[in-house]
Structure 1
């Protein structure tokens, strides 16, 4: 899964949205919205995982909800999504090539959240967006609250999540690849990075 074995946090907690029920107010609200609209169950054949900033508690007012899914046939996913979600506000879908992968992006809005389904022929637990989120979670768990606040401030400035982490951590290169490359690093390595930028630890 691209995570170190010595981390105390269990990556499997992200495999279902149950943890959201016990989180902050935004996470609890998301858990209720997912349940009320049966969004996860409507996508059950596509291995849906909730990703993005809300699970990490670094969201801003403009943050949407990312849902990572797997498809074998993109047209099948679009057909199911059209049947299940076309009645929602701002429903739309598109297909594009991302990193050489056929990708389907479907979006819609409930009264509370804007959802974006990101689907590839890669199981969600192995998709880059999920691996980035897991590493970001590890950094957030190791660092003090000031680090989290710095990330949120970058987000409020309109900087995307991966670049925001790399800016605060002083990591160079392509942010998306840099975080991916760090995925197998030990906690000790992550602590070294935090200390090098004089970021406090928990």
Structure 2
């Protein structure tokens, strides 16, 4: 059985409206068009008060299959909730940081820019790497010509490296794409 398009699932669940007080943003591979059958829908939120956000999440989604929620013990202690609905796994990531400053959003925006600048050939390379088991950031990092394995745990520093690219102007990104054989 195939699942519905991600945007239909979001709309049917009404998650953006339900979490509107937390500035929800959809990120991740489905809106980029580089998702696989195992991809989830990421919703990034700004939640300065973790306890209040937790109460909201539990009241809204704890009745969904696979509901799980935990809080990191380091950094700004983000809260993460996952559950299944509308044929998809949803992952809600809530940090006290504004969404546009969160690493997940910054990764999403640089990946968006690279896909726009790199064209269909670059997107095909990303999809090829994803089909080989590469996670998103390691796939982009590898496609750009940096050493990396599928989970990013090498000297290639895929996650940090992608964040460093966020501040690069389009011209520098096009140069990087050209050096890697794209654009």
In 2, distance between residues paired with 1:69 and 1:119? 5
TM-score, with structure 2 as normaliser: 0.89
CA drift of 1:30 comes to 2.0
Q: Which residue of 2 aligns with 1:186?
A: 169
Q: Which residue of 1 aligns with 2:33?
A: 57
Q: Which residues of structure 1 form unaligned runs of 5+?
A: 1-25
In 1, distance between residues paired with 2:101 and 2:8? 26
Decide whether the 8 Å contact of 1:171 with 1:178 is kept in 2.
Answer: no
The answer to whether the aligner puts 1:126 opposite 2:101 as a matched pair is yes
Decide whether the 8 Å contact of 2:40 with 2:90 is kept in 1.
Answer: yes
Is the partner of 1:147 in helix, strand or coil?
helix
In 2, distance between residues paired with 1:195 and 1:91? 44
The answer to whether the aligner puts 1:196 opposite 2:179 as a matched pair is yes
Q: Which residues of structure 2 form unaligned runs of 5+?
A: 148-155
Decide whether the 8 Å contact of 2:12 with 2:86 is kept in 1.
Answer: no
CA drift of 1:75 comes to 1.3
In 2, distance between residues paired with 1:112 and 1:121? 29
Higher relative contact order (CA closer than 8 Å, sequence separation 6+)? 1
Q: Which residue of 2 aligns with 1:31?
A: 7
RMSD: 1.5
Q: How many residues align?
A: 173
